[in-house]
Chain A
Amino acid sequence: DTAVSQTPKYLVTQMGNDKSIKCEQNLGHDTMYWYKQDSKKFLKIMFSYNNKELIINETVPNRFSPKSPDKAHLNLHINSLELGDSAVYFCASSQDRSSYNEQFFGPGTRLTVL
């Protein structure tokens, strides 16, 4: 069983479009995250939610809006896509906000904006 899953795996779209990426975890974790990995392979945190509540927002443009309908899901909606949004987006989860817990990552969604 996949612990952290993301859909779609690949997303190719035109500039200006709006798109969503979905993430689900079946680990019973309370905390979920979105990361962006750019072309230089640096992974940077974007958002963190704990039990459906936003706890970290790393100065991400407000075109990016995460939504957590329940603690097992954290979806990422992106409005007015730009070329610079092309990257691999990873979802992750951890037991809770405690720093004693490791984070488990999904397989990533490769977004290409044309």
Chain B
Amino acid sequence: KQEVTQIPAALSVPEGENLVLNCSFTDSAIYNLQWFRQDPGKGLTSLLLIQSSQREQTSGRLNASLDKSSGRSTLYIAASQPGDSATYLCAVESWGKLQFGAGTQVVVTP
């Protein structure tokens, strides 16, 4: 059974600092890994999708790495801004199903 863990559960940083969010999964037989952002009372916004054959994906200030063999992914957000405050969820796809972690709640203070 696939289990997805995100550490830390919550993170508070001053504006301008880089953010590092971690995701680990127990079964390396995944097809892809997706990072989402969830704002309070809102739906999920897809940030990055990494295929199982890829090692990383980049979009603007966001960079996500994937090490399938060790069951880990890291999301880096450079030069954080108050608008980056949200909950970040990672999800791995196995056999057509997305399995989610519990998320990391991020607060970026001005």
Interface residues of A (CB under 8 A from B): 4, 33, 40-45, 48, 55-56, 58, 90, 92, 97, 99-100, 102-108
A33 to B98, CA, bound (A): 10
- Name B43's contact: one of A97, A100, A102, A108 (CB within 8 Å): A108
Question: On chain B, which size bracket covers the interface?
Answer: 20 to 34
Please encode chain B, from 90 to 110, with 1 for each CB lying within 8 Å of some chain A CB and 0 for all others: 010100111010110000000
Q: Which chain B residues (26-57) contact chain A, with CB distance < 8 Å?
A: 31-32, 34, 36, 41-46, 49, 51
- CB pair A99–B87 under 8 Å, yes or no, is no
Collect the chain A residues with CB atoms within 8 Å of residue B64's CB. Answer: none
Interface residues of B (CB under 8 A from A): 31-32, 34, 36, 41-46, 49, 51, 87, 89, 91, 93, 96-98, 100, 102-103
